[in-house]
């Protein structure tokens, strides 16, 4: 019984994470998170929707903290200056390690753009367009959303991969012809 109480006192709520000795909670302001955790390893902004004649609306900012290979990446999403959600990404990695060749089997739906860039580098080609607002498990308020398509070539004996990204996450992976 005593062990259960001790463990329950250590557990963090699902909507929180620890930066050193500081606790970050949903609802915290961007400034507070920066003062507790420092600059994120990667930041990106994206619109929840795009309305003709108005432009992007419901802009969110996503911050990625990479604690290294022994822990998981933390993904913080801010809306209107407040921490809206805290997610756990894939396993962290050492950015100082010598980069190795990215393998097609490492790509997965749900992987963040930050993880993709860090593991595979820049794509050989990028394109983007706006399309209807519902793509995956996240529902947008209406209008159009930005879709990015990145192309990776893995060598002459492997198929190219076309990666679709919406809202900072891979939503689809398609194979193409064999690389050059």
- Phi then psi dihedrals of residue 10, to 5 deg: -90, -25
Confirm if 117 and 99 have CB atoms less than 8 A apart.
no
Alpha helix segments (H runs only) across 19-135: 30-37, 113-120
Q: Is the pLDDT of residue 175 over 70?
A: yes
Tell me the pTM.
0.72
- On the CB side of 50, CA atoms within 13 Å amount to 14
Q: List pLDDT tens digits, range 52-79.
A: 677 667 778 999 999 888 888 899 999 8
Q: Is the pLDDT of residue 36 over 80?
A: yes
């Amino acid at each position: 019984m005593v062990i259960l109480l001790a463990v329950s006192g250590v557990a963090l709520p699902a909507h929180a994470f620890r930066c050193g000795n500081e606790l970050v909670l949903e609802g915290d302001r961007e400034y507070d998170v920066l003062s507790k955790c420092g600059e994120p390893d990667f930041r990106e902004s994206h619109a929840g929707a795009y309305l003709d004649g108005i432009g992007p609306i419901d802009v969110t900012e996503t911050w990625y903290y990479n604690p290294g290979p022994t822990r998981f990446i933390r993904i913080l999403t801010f809306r209107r200056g407040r921490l809206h959600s805290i997610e756990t990404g894939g396993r962290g990695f050492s950015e100082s390690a010598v980069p190795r060749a990215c393998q097609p089997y490492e790509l997965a739906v749900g992987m963040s753009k930050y993880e993709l860039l860090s593991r595979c580098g820049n794509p050989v080609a990028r394109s983007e367009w706006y399309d209807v607002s519902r793509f995956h498990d996240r529902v947008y308020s209406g209008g159009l959303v930005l879709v990015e398509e990145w192309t990776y070539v893995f060598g002459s004996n492997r198929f190219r991969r076309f990666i679709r990204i919406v809202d900072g996450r891979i939503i689809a992976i398609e194979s193409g012809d064999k690389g050059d």
